[in-house]
Structure 1
Amino acid sequence: MLRNKLLIRIITFGIGLFVMAFGVALSVKADLGVSPISCIPYVYSLKIPFTLGQLTIVFNLFLMVLQMVVLRKNYRVLQLIQLPVVFAFGMFIDLAMNMVTFISVSNYAWKVFWCLLSCVILAFGVFLEVKAKITYLPGEGLAMAIAETFKKEFGKAKIGVDSAMVVVGIVSSFLFLDQLLGIREGTVVAAILVGFIAKFYGRKLQFVDAWLSVNEPKEEVEELSKQNVVITISREYGSGGHEIGKRLAERLGIAFYDKNLIDITAKESGYTADYISKNEQKLAHSLLFELYEQNYAYVSEKQPPLDTLFLVQSKIIREIAAKESCVIVGRCANFVLKDNPKCFNVFVHADKKYRKSRITGNYGIHASVTDHELEKTDRERANYCLHFTGKNWRDAANYNLTVDSSLIDANTIVNTIITAIEKE
């Protein structure tokens, strides 16, 4: 069984390499610029009498050497498995280039078509390569080496590696060809789209995981106690959700979790409390975050830091809910505990005037708070919720009770929540 699965993974990896090579060949035919990983070999293939595939092999061997230099004593012999992959990928590129010789691009519209198709195909190859879990191409290997050695996030390291390749490609093109060739708008499109599309395949083609993986014993999940009552408080910035949650916990004589979750998460995740405090429940620009996060589609070993943070906090929240009755503020706890029948979810909101007054009076902020600052924090929370749960943070249907704290004092809200819970 294990041998059969390994053989299937190797075959899948080989197919993924060929599909990627075919995507590279189509991007060359589109003539709008190749992807960052291919731009340097392509530029040099226009100057010296070697094929694109041959120069891709040479370039990837150079990247392997760079991995060794960066990792030094931490370089693992197992990483030499990239060596046959490099030669196979180069040969596949030359084969694919011969297969697409019939394609003739007559106008810009057709160039755009072939460029976009190359991204779709290249992304599918990346998807198969990652799912096979055999190894990765040296470009991703170098980004991982940099991330490991210099303690950088993989997404940032890969952006840096890709950007460096593009810069070297541009400089080489002007030096040796006296003009810019091979690096155009298609290069930017590929840098943005391929990771997005690979992640899309990952969401829609989940059956591939089951097909490629060996059945493993499922991890036992701690069963939720039917006796524990858990109240989650989601809140607009400055609406007083923390105060209401704390008073509610004191009235009921149960545990209260808000900022203390930061220290618990720090112990579980390995991230510092400062990092968690600055990054939890925040996703300022979902599009920009997606552009950064899509780089993680290229490797199976790495996970975006915010994904890790959310998963760790979700695990902690579920464990707390299984252990004791409590009040939990924020962290998308209502969605994390959506299957808990004893979970009561509250959303606290208020008008802007009231929220500004509370922030300046209770949070020790002496400068005036603008509408923009309120909207920014709420947008961060909404984007965070949408990204990790797919739900609208402000949708009243996601809560058992929504209250306007500017109209009702905190004690009355606490009494209302307790009354509503008793009627459940």
Structure 2
Amino acid sequence: MVSTGLVKRCLVLLCGLFFMGLGISLVTRSALGTSPISSVPYVLCLAFPVTFGEFTIILTLIFFAAEVFIIGRSFPKRQYLQILVAFSLGFFVDLGMYLSAGVRPDFYPEQIAVVLAGSAVLAFGIFLQVTANVILNPGEGLVRAIAEKTHKRFGIVKVFFDTSLVAAAALISLAAFGTIEGFREGTVISAILVGYIILGIAFVYARYGCEKWLADEPGRDR
């Protein structure tokens, strides 16, 4: 039978994807740029009649395909469920854009506040996804695959990966509009803050023993 712990982790993963989509949307609504991982889909949705979330799905599936190619035959079969993660994240990005439609900050302090709020929500979503420990997000999975293949530290590859995405978005934007869209100080703030906020959440999570909630209940689902 499916364990109680697994059911809980799947629910946590789903909640994490929701908050990730909402956080990405809030950072984007600040009009000070978008998060690095979303920079390419955002610029593309400005250039083509396809939604932010739909382009997120397409790019995430490309990440997944690249991850499978790099790992090869040893790719874990369970991780093929990353395809569902890709579609779920794209859906939640569009849902987040819908829910945050009324967020239209007019003044710079308000824009900064929205970036900070969006970064916090995004960090919480990423934390939940990692804590669930069920299925990798294809973006993170690709970074891990590259790190293992090149024998480089995950953090170093992650920085290079995000920087490459922002550079690609800038080139697409210049080709389509003649200006750089989707990259401003909000992108930098989000890129820096999210990691530190995740560390803070992880500290609180460990401090109060919240991880026990995800464990199987004794005597259940045996």
User: Residue 341 of structure 1 aligns with which residue?
Assistant: none
TM-score (norm 2): 0.93
Deviation of the 1:4 alpha carbon: 1.4
Distance in 2 separating the partners of 1:152 and 1:215: 38
2:153 is matched with 153
2-structure distance, mates of 1:60, 1:10: 19
Give how far 1:72 is off.
Answer: 2.5
CA contact (8 A) 2:4 2:217 kept: no
- The aligned residue for residue 213 of structure 1 is 215
> Deviations along 1:357-406, whole A, 9 cap, x unmatched?
xxxxxxxxxxxxxxxxxxxxxxxxxxxxxxxxxxxxxxxxxxxxxxxxxx
Q: Give the unaligned 5+ runs of structure 1.
A: 217-424
Match of 1:47 in 2: 47
Runs of 4+ in structure 1 displaced over 3 angstroms? Answer: none
What is the CA-CA distance between 1:107 and the residue it aligns to? 1.2
Q: Supply the distance in 2 between the matched residues of 1:88 and 1:148 (Cα, whole angstroms).
A: 26
Higher mean C-alpha displacement, 39-48 vs 145-154? 145-154
% same residue: 34
Measured in 2, the distance between the counterparts of 1:25 and 1:131 equals 22
1:66 and 1:164 map into 2 onto residues whose CA distance is 15
Please say if residues 2 and 214 of structure 1, whose CA atoms lie closer than 8 Å, have aligned partners that are also in contact.
Answer: no
Code of the residue aligned with 2:50 in structure 1: it is F
1:73, distance to aligned residue in structure 2 (A)? 3.0
The amino acid across from 2:100 in the alignment is V
Q: Aligned partner of 2:187: which letter?
A: T
Deviations 1:343-362 (A, max 9, x none): xxxxxxxxxxxxxxxxxxxx
Alignment partners' CA distance in 2, 1:76 and 1:212 = 23
1: CA distance, partners of 2:52 / 2:80: 23
For residues 195-344 of structure 1, the aligned pairs below 5 Å read 195-206=195-206, 207-214=209-216
> 1:131–1:208: 8 Å Cα contact kept in structure 2?
no
Deviation at 1:77, TM superposition (A): 2.4
Mapped contact 1:139–1:161 kept (Cα < 8 A): no
Matched, 1:89 2:89: yes
Distance 1:175 1:154 in 2: 31
**Aligned with 2:180: secondary structure?**
coil
Q: Which has the higher contact order (CA 8 A, sep 6+)?
A: 2
Instruction: State the Cα distance separating 1:23 from its structure 2 match.
Output: 0.3
Report whether the alignment pairs 1:121 with 2:124: no
Question: Which residue of 1 is the match for residue 78 of structure 2?
Answer: 78
Question: Which whole-Å CA distance do the structure 2 matches of 1:13 and 1:160 have between them?
Answer: 26
| Cα deviation 1:166-222 (Å, max 9, x = unaligned) | 111111111112111101111111111101101110001223311113479xxxxxx
Name 1:5's counterpart in structure 2: 5
Give, in whole Å, the separation in 1 of the partners of 2:101 and 2:186: 20
What one-letter code is carried by the residue in structure 2 that aligns with 1:209? Answer: E
Give distance in 1, aligned partners of 2:111 and 2:210.
Answer: 32
Which of the pair is proportionally richer in helix?
Answer: 2
Q: Secondary structure at the match of 1:205?
A: helix
Contact kept? 1:170, 1:183, Cα under 8 Å: yes
> CA contact under 8 A between 2:79 and 2:136: conserved in structure 1?
no
Q: 2:26 corresponds to which residue?
A: 26
Name the amino acid aligned to 1:118. Answer: G
Residue in 2 that maps onto 1:109 = 109
Is the contact between residue 82 and residue 138 of structure 2 (CA under 8 Å) also seen in structure 1? yes
Q: Displacement, 1:21?
A: 0.5
Question: Number of residue pairs matched?
Answer: 216
